[in-house]
Structure 1
């Protein structure tokens, strides 16, 4: 596996993300390739853990407005970059990426850090990977906060998602920062757009971002059996599970109905509708933080 690493200099000009970088090395379970995972780790090491997982095509910079308030509330915030994103290593070939591999990579990372008592805060692919981690190691998780994401188990893809998937496959250009900007209700600054572009200095660095939409398991995707097995765990999940989807995301609108009432832990939770587009961390970070603290304090 050929692996790329974005130079540190690419991140030097980001003025609104001053958290110290941390790194852990994991081994790919298929061929043993060593991969470096970047993560933010803020707050007391003995405090309850809040795991903030980003999605496509962002990186942990997405949570910059949320990390501080959750730490100030007394928690340890850990926010990784998925392999292929941010400061984490980036396999260069699209064929190096699969849904199962992403779950295995992040499971290895959690085990390497020995995280437990985790409140998971997730969105987009952060939920596709994060909820599979919950199913694989439920003993390490204490609660879940889900925004604008899901755990598809086949079926038809929404029209808005089909358009996005086609764009990711066929567009000759793939401007990461502008894509993020298109998924928010507020207008990002030029500096913020540049920060989202920073991890991807060349076309080769975008292999993971390009392939992710094609890995979402709609239809008869090979990942569907794994999804069904994960849902068997969630169908028994009695720990807190709070949904806080936004009111302006055409891709995941209504997605909370697939969880509320089905997952036992959703009962009695103050599910909320946040304001914004797909990347609600940019549009309504305070609302997302309130939801996280509700669950973290209960867990």
Structure 2
């Protein structure tokens, strides 16, 4: 794999690591950032981002006595990119993350989740034998659906032909990420370029479409049963927990109420950020991680 371009290496000053994991029946190589020492914090992104999303939060947690581990989901970032859609499932992504957690022998983990990192992280936690003991939740949908009213984005992803052209040829939705933000300028310029860089080759663009189609749009969708496992773990979780939410998120801004009701002991921080709130309110996220991990606040 080629080295990061200079602009991206400057924006992401954390060392890259790689580990073999299982993804369905195939061995794959997962990229992850691993910075610091101490209690592990596992930072899970969603679609169509990568570990770059966590750089500001990681910077805010430097010197906190925490080990920050931020993997790239298979198909995204610098991880291996299968070209077929079929292998992408909540089970396979969850198993790949669980393999990494077990390979690194992460215990007493603070799990930090957003977007697809939510259900993937919850599925992993349910199978991890109690490795996750703290939880920070951001704009995601961990719970099984009460109804199947998907967004226009997800309905579009199921349109045959036209969605394949948009996702594969035009790298959709990467050029549109700023539109999901409270402040569109938070994903622009070199930052927007950094999100697009790992998907610069057309043949590497299967995952964004596959993950969009993984969102359940009917009762018999295969993701529904897999979501139920993470849902049960999430509702039963009694460790320290916080929710940090971007209310200006056009996709999941309104999901805060349901998740706070499912996790009633969690502290809630509502912000005016959008979907990728790591770009807009990293200080609030880092503060929540510190509280859940029981480490001193930033000086």
Class of the TM-score when normalised by the shorter of the 2 chains = 0.7 to 0.9
State whether residues 46 and 114 of structure 2, in contact with CA within 8 Å, keep that contact through their aligned partners in structure 1: yes
Q: Which residue of 1 aligns with 2:206?
A: 207
Gaps of 5+ in 1: 1-6
Q: How does 1:273-284 map to 2 (within 5 A)?
A: 273-284=270-281
State whether residues 180 and 251 of structure 2, in contact with CA within 8 Å, keep that contact through their aligned partners in structure 1: no
CA distance in 2, matches of 1:229, 1:215: 16
Q: How does 1:2-17 map to 2 (within 5 A)?
A: 7-14=1-8, 15-17=10-12
Alpha carbons of structure 1 residues 229 and 122: separation in structure 2 relative to 1, 3 Å = closer
CA distance in 1, matches of 2:272, 2:281: 6
Per-residue Cα deviation, 1:41-71 (whole angstroms, up to 9, x for no partner): 1111xx1111111111000001111102213
CA RMSD, Structure 1 to Structure 2 (Å):
2.1
Q: What's the CA shift for 1:10?
A: 4.9
Per-residue Cα deviation, 1:72-117 (whole angstroms, up to 9, x for no partner): 2221110001100111111011122222111111111111111111
Equivalent position to 1:42, from 35, 45, 62: 35
Q: What's the CA shift for 1:278?
A: 0.6
Q: What's the CA shift for 1:28?
A: 3.5
CA distance in 1, matches of 2:90, 2:274: 25
CA distance in 1, matches of 2:94, 2:78: 18
State whether residues 22 and 38 of structure 1, in contact with CA within 8 Å, keep that contact through their aligned partners in structure 2: yes
Q: Which residue of 2 aligns with 1:250?
A: 250
CA distance in 2, matches of 1:11, 1:157: 41
Q: Which residue of 1 aligns with 2:112?
A: 121
SS across alignment from 1:219:
coil
Per-residue Cα deviation, 1:175-210 (whole angstroms, up to 9, x for no partner): 454222222224134211111111112111110112
Q: How does 1:139-150 map to 2 (within 5 A)?
A: 139-150=130-141
SS across alignment from 1:272:
strand
CA distance in 2, matches of 1:84, 1:271: 32
SS across alignment from 2:134:
strand
Q: What's the CA shift for 1:258?
A: 2.0
Equivalent position to 2:63, from 64, 72, 85: 72
Q: Which residue of 2 aligns with 1:24?
A: 19
Q: Which residue of 2 aligns with 1:229?
A: 229
SS across alignment from 1:156:
coil
Q: Which moved more, 1:47-56 or 1:151-160?
A: 151-160
CA distance in 1, matches of 2:254, 2:66: 30
Gaps of 5+ in 2: none
Q: What's the CA shift for 1:136?
A: 1.7
* TM-score, length of structure 2 as denominator length: 0.88
CA distance in 1, matches of 2:209, 2:223: 18
CA distance in 2, matches of 1:152, 1:170: 31
State whether residues 246 and 274 of structure 1, in contact with CA within 8 Å, keep that contact through their aligned partners in structure 2: yes
CA distance in 2, matches of 1:164, 1:64: 30
Alpha carbons of structure 1 residues 249 and 35: separation in structure 2 relative to 1, 3 Å = same
Q: Which moved more, 1:65-74 or 1:83-92?
A: 65-74
